[in-house]
């Protein structure tokens, strides 16, 4: 490793002139065992799929987790059980529908009281997809409203609560899951894609509005990822075609997405702010 003197005018922390990057890295690794040690994170839609992988990954980085779910309590409890140890409560579960403002508020109340700490990291992974894949001409008002209620209104309620309650002064993170479909604009995903486009616009504006708080806001936009949402209503031929179209020749896994969220949540990810990170193996 190259050792360079640190120009003190360029570092956030003023160090004695004899310090080098090597010294800094060694000092950091001996005092900070894990990048998210004891930070409190809420992950919505963490009972299954990508949200579950994100919750487990953030826990592996040292965070304490509130595992949100809509109805699958058994799966949410099993995620928490993988994180908790007999001697340490590091994960709790909480049922809340993110399209209801009171329930979103309760998510934060529950996390703060469970861990006796403000929330540092908020990840909104909960969403729904109309597995009938209708064209816009055949999308019912009911299906459009349900999609927007969870995906756009839910993300708005989460972002609003997070913007008001996440810890100020460094380490605050808001990360919304959107979709590479916003760039791909494929037919038959109209309402879903539009709902995610709304979230991407909100996140970019939110990052600017949070100026001075030290909180960053970003979106992670996966391509096809092998989860219940992806497989719902798709034929084997459709799945095969999507695999063939991908430069890496496979579907994404939830574990392909979780480390990107982990990086954004960490101090190392601070300079990425107001961005949409598309994570799709080169498909889009």
Ligand X SMILES: NC(=O)c1ccc[n+]([C@@H]2O[C@H](COP(=O)([O-])OP(=O)(O)OC[C@H]3O[C@@H](n4cnc5c(N)ncnc54)[C@H](OP(=O)(O)O)[C@@H]3O)[C@@H](O)[C@H]2O)c1
* 227 counts as binding ligand X under rule CB under 6 A: yes
Taking residues 85 to 114 in sequence order and writing x for each that binds ligand X by CB under 6 A, - otherwise, the string is: ------------xxx---------------
Nearer to ligand X, 48 or 57 (CB): 48
Examine residue 47 and tell whether it contacts ligand X (CB under 6 A): yes
Catalytic annotation present for 21: no
Q: How many CB atoms lie within 10 A of CB 20?
A: 15
79 binds ligand X (CB under 6 A): no
The residue assigned the tokens 């609003």 is 160
Q: Residue 212: which region, alpha, beta or left (left: phi > 0; alpha: psi -120 to 50)? A: left
- Residue number with the shortest CB distance to ligand X? 49
Q: For ligand X, which stretch binds (CB under 6 A), given 86-94, 110-118, 161-169, 219-227?
A: 219-227
Number of Cβ within 10 Å of residue 117's Cβ equals 14
Asked if residue 230 binds ligand X (CB under 6 A), the reply is yes
CA angle 277-262-79, nearest 5°? 120
Kindly state whether residue 225 participates in binding ligand X, applying the rule CB under 6 A.
yes
With vertex at residue 70, the alpha carbon angle to CA 251 and CA 57, rounded to the nearest 5 degrees, is 50
Catalytic residue among 69, 133, 189, 192: 192
Contact with ligand X (CB under 6 A) among 55, 70, 110, 174: 70
Closest by Cα among 261, 200, 268, 269 to 225: 261
Q: Of all residues in the chain, what percent are helix, strand and coil, respectively (each to 5)?
A: 45, 15, 40
Q: Which of 172, 190, 222, 269 binds ligand X (CB under 6 A)?
A: 222
Smallest distance from ligand X to CB 75, Å: 6
Half-sphere exposure of 82 (CA within 13 A, CB side): 16
CB nearer to ligand X: give 40 or 50.
50
Q: By CB under 6 A, is residue 177 in contact with ligand X?
A: yes
Q: Is 125 in the site for ligand X (CB under 6 A)?
A: yes
Q: Give yes or no for residue 175 binding ligand X (CB under 6 A).
A: no
Angstrom distance (rounded) from CA 116 to CA 112: 5
Q: Does 183 bind ligand X (CB under 6 A)?
A: no
DSSP state, residue 45: T
Query: Could you say which of 55, 63, 110, 127 contacts ligand X (CB under 6 A)?
Result: 127
Minimum distance from residue 137 beta carbon to ligand X (Å):
23
DSSP class of 35: T
Rounded-to-integer distance, Cα 144 and Cα 153, Å: 12
User: Please, which of residues 235-264 interact with ligand X by CB under 6 A?
Assistant: none
Residues 150/128, Cβ–Cβ less than 8 Å: yes
What is the binding site for ligand X (CB under 6 A)? Answer: 44-45, 47-51, 68-72, 75, 97-99, 125-128, 150, 154, 177, 179, 222, 224-225, 227-230
Provide the annotated active-site residues.
Answer: 192
């Amino acid at each position: 490793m190259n050792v360079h003197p640190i120009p003190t005018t360029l570092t956030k922390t003023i160090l004695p002139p004899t310090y080098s990057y090597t010294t800094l890295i060694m000092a950091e690794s001996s005092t900070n065992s894990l990048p998210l040690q004891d930070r409190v994170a809420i992950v919505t839609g963490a009972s299954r799929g990508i949200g579950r992988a994100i919750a487990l990954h953030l826990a592996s980085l040292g965070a304490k987790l509130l595992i949100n779910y809509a109805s699958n309590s058994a799966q949410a409890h099993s995620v928490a059980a993988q994180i908790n140890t007999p001697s340490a409560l590091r994960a709790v579960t909480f049922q809340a529908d993110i399209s209801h403002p009171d329930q979103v508020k309760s998510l934060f109340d529950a996390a703060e009281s469970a861990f006796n700490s403000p929330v540092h990291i908020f990840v909104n992974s909960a969403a729904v997809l109309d597995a009938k894949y209708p064209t816009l001409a055949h999308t019912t008002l009911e299906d459009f409203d349900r999609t927007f209620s969870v995906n756009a209104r839910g993300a708005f309620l989460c972002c609003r609560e997070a913007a008001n309650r996440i810890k100020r002064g460094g380490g605050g993170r808001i990360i919304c899951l959107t979709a590479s479909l916003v760039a791909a604009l494929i037919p038959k995903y109209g309402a879903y894609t539009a709902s995610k486009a709304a979230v991407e616009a909100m996140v970019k504006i939110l990052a600017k509005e949070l100026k001075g708080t030290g909180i960053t806001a970003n979106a992670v936009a996966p391509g096809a990822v092998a989860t219940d949402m992806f497989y719902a209503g798709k034929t084997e031929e459709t799945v095969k075609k999507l695999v063939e179209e991908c430069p890496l020749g496979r579907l994404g896994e939830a574990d392909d997405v979780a480390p990107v969220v982990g990086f954004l949540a960490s101090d190392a990810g601070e300079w990425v702010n107001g961005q949409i990170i598309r994570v799709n193996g080169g498909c889009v």
